[in-house]
Structure formats: C-alpha cells, structure tokens
Amino acid sequence: MKLQQLYGYARRAIDDYKMIKEGDRIAIGVSGGKDSLSLLYALAGLRSFYPERFEIEAVTVDAGYPGTDFSGISKLCDDLGVRYTVVETRIAEILFDYRKESNPCALCAKLRKGAFNNKARELGCNKEAYAHHFDDVIETMLMSLIYEGRFNCFSPVTYLNRSDITLIRPLIYVKEQDIKGFSKAYKLPIVKNPCPVDGYTKREYVKQLIKTLSLESPGLKERLFHSIKISDIRGWKLDDTGNEANDEMSE
C-alpha cells in the first residue's frame, strides 16, 4: 500500500464518521507496532491538506519492560514534524512481579489507557486516536459473539465520559495486509512487543479462526465488516446521505 492510499482510506473513515473537527488537538497512541506507526503517518500527512485544521501529539506508554528502545519512533516523529512523548510506567512490574497475572491483557489495557488518557489531557488534547484497523473490527465482533454471547464491537467514534475526551479510529477501512505492505515499503521503525504472553491471546485465536474460514469462504471478512456497518451496533450505521446516523457512543 502506498502513502496516498493510506491517506485515502483514513480520510474516508474520518469523513464518514466526522472524526475530526476544526481546531481539534489529537493524541495518537503510538505503541511501536505497525498499526500505530501507520496511523501516525496518516494523520501527520493529513494535517497539510485536510479541510479541517487540527494538531497532533504522538504518545507512547512505556510499560517498563527492560531494553525497550523507542529511539526509532522519536526519529520518525522528528522527520514528520510531530512532538513525541514517552510516558514511563511500571505496568510490567505490576502485572508480572506483584500480581503475577496469568491473563494480564485486560488489566494491562486498563492501565495503559489510564496513563494515555492522563497524558492526553495534560497535553491539552480533546481527542485521542487509536490504530484499530479493518481486521481488528471483525475480530472484536467475533470475540464478543464467541466469548460474551452478543453481537457487539467498539465504535468508530467514542466519547469517554470520565476523561472528557473523544476517541477516534481512523484506520477502520484499512486491512491488516495493506498495513504490513506499507510497513515494509516505508521501513517503519517497529518496536517488537516485549510482553511474554504476546501471540497467546483470545484475539490471536480468533484471528487464526477467521483466516481458516476465509480460505473456505472467500470474501468472508468483507461480509462480516458489512454486517457490522448495517447493524444496530451504536455508532456504526450510516444514513442514506453517508452521515453517521447515531450519536457518539459513550463509555
């Protein structure tokens, strides 16, 4: 995937769901993975030609794993003209040394989000951007269906009541395979996830399940995504004019 294609996918999602408004200041969650670095590229580029003017801040929450190096991200941010902030935490120590969690994902996500939200407010941001892509959407829906017994998914735009911040997901139309191609083509400075349970999660199981089913039923991913867009899951349905039919979802 070329940079202009990335811009196009991101802009379509932003326009469809009215993610960005004039004067927004957006904190981008940069984990160091291919998805968040692609999001950084997309929003950094869109600043120069998107009709609504906005500002961005790149923020990484450092969980505290020894030897993690974010210098490559720092250089990329310098090249893109984006201010970069690393939030140092003791999340890894809390999860594995003190609590000795065998299934740490939910608590880890909660702690990371809390640190990110606090820094976003400190930087004067009214919005946050997460790098959830097309495949994340359908995986989340299937996880909800399999493990919770309900047809549900995160919303493209979510208002966080407690933080008074709006969360946006501009990459929902971008497929993971395209992000992989973009990452290789532009030599993104990926930081390998140091978590010891990475790759052994319920999400990874669902990802492999979808991969298997897609081999048997070509076009499955597109149909699953379409089912979400036309469903009653709040925040997803567009009206006949292409505008979001629902108000921003709150949590």
Q: Please report the domains of the chain, with CATH numbers, ordered by start residue.
A: 3-250 (3.40.50.620)
What letter does residue 17 receive in the DSSP assignment?
T
Choice between 62 and 163, residue whose per-residue pLDDT is larger: 62
CA distance readout (Å), 121 to 44, 54, 76, 160, 228 = 20, 16, 23, 12, 31
For residue 11 the two structure tokens come to 């802009």
| 25 alpha carbon, distance to own chain's centre | 17
pLDDT at 131 (0 to 100): 97
pLDDT at 60 over 50: yes
- The answer to whether 176 touches 135, Cβ cutoff 8 Å, is yes
With residue 127 as reference, give the H or E element that holds it: strand 127-129
CA distances from 167 to 154, 155, 158 (A): 11, 9, 5
Fill in the amino acid letter for 16. Answer: D
Mean pLDDT of 37-47: 98
Res 244: pLDDT? 45
- Between the alpha carbon of residue 27 and those of residues 40, 130, 149, 193, 211, the distances in Å are 10, 9, 33, 21, 32
What does the pLDDT look like over 69-105, one tens digit per residue? 999 999 999 999 999 999 999 888 888 777 766 667 7
Chain centre distance of CA 163: 18
pLDDT of residue 200: 59
pLDDT at position 95 is: 82
Which residues have a Cβ under 8 Å from the Cβ of 236 and sit 6 or more positions away? 153, 155, 156, 228, 229, 246
Q: How far apart are CA 171 and CA 6, in angstroms?
A: 9
Report pLDDT for 241.
Answer: 36
- What is the pLDDT, as a whole number, of residue 247? 41
pLDDT (tens digit per residue) in 137-158: 999 999 999 999 999 999 999 9
Q: Which of 210, 200, 205 is nearest to 105 (CA)?
A: 200
Where does the chain have alpha helices with state H? 3-16, 34-46, 71-80, 91-92, 105-122, 134-148, 176-185, 202-216, 220-229
* pLDDT value of position 102: 63
Beta pairing partners, 28: 58, 129
